[in-house]
Amino acid sequence: IAVGLLLFYPPFFRGLFFPQEMLFTHVLTSAVFLLFCLRKWRNGDASLIRGAMDWAVFALVSAYLLSLPGAVNVREALGGFYKILNYSMIYWLVREVAVNYRNSRILLSVLFASSLGVAIIGIASALGFVNYPGAFDGSIIMSTLQYTNATSIYMGIMSILGISLAVTEKKCCFKAIYTLATVLLMVVMFNAAAQGAWIA
């Protein structure tokens, strides 16, 4: 549930592009990761690194850490390091939770539900039903992410995820829900029409 929460809420906090929201996320992710480490320790499992991907993530964090002493702007460098550390902790948490197909699908559904919420807020803002600052500028839907390119790419990637969930779903009612939700995402993606989305 904690990992699902970490995956669900970030897009609603202005995409975590701003320091105040990012600081809250650092604290929350660190707390969940600490609980995760304590749980592993109690179970007698002290290993974090198990494969090549884990080593790659560890190397990325290490590279950011090693670059701090020579940074031109130490504050910006620290901010970048904390972001990479935060993403790495989420990676390790997801890897630990997604141990089977069912859990992986639940986490993917959480990501998709989050993107659907972002799309609904964007469309509702464009129609004048919701007053969300920066979600609609009169012609382009930017929703909670508040950047055209970010919104468009996010909706494009999540549309691919929505199609995948629809295709692999066995129940017809859920298949229809995933399909209709993906259409809403694509409405926002096409409205933003950023070049990044076409590349994605």
Give the helix ranges, DSSP H, for 43-73. Answer: 52-67
By CB atoms closer than 10 A (0-12, 13-18, 19+), residue 191 is: buried
Q: What is the pLDDT of residue 115?
A: 95
Closest alpha carbon to 115 in 143, 148, 146: 143
d(CA 122, CA 87): 26
What pTM was computed for the model? 0.86
Q: DSSP 3-state assignment of 136?
A: strand
Q: Are 120 and 171 in contact (CB under 8 A)?
A: no
Enter the DSSP assignment of 10.
Answer: G
145-155 pLDDT, tens digit per residue, is: 888 888 889 99
**Cα–Cα–Cα angle for 24, 27, 32, rounded to 5 degrees:** 125
Predicted confidence pLDDT, tens digits, the chain (200 residues): 999 999 998 888 876 667 777 888 889 999 999 998 888 888 887 777 788 898 999 999 999 899 888 888 888 888 888 889 999 999 999 998 898 999 999 999 999 999 999 999 999 999 989 888 888 888 888 888 888 888 889 999 999 999 999 999 999 999 999 999 999 999 999 887 777 777 77
d(CA 80, CA 78): 5
Q: DSSP 3-state assignment of 200?
A: coil
Paired with 136 in beta bridges are 141
Q: What is the pLDDT of residue 16?
A: 64
- Both tokens of 186, joined, read 């694509």
d(CA 14, CA 135): 10
Residue labelled with tokens 């970010």 = 150
Q: What is the pLDDT of residue 184?
A: 94
Q: Are 188 and 141 in contact (CB under 8 A)?
A: yes
d(CA 132, CA 130): 6
Q: What is the pLDDT of residue 59?
A: 93
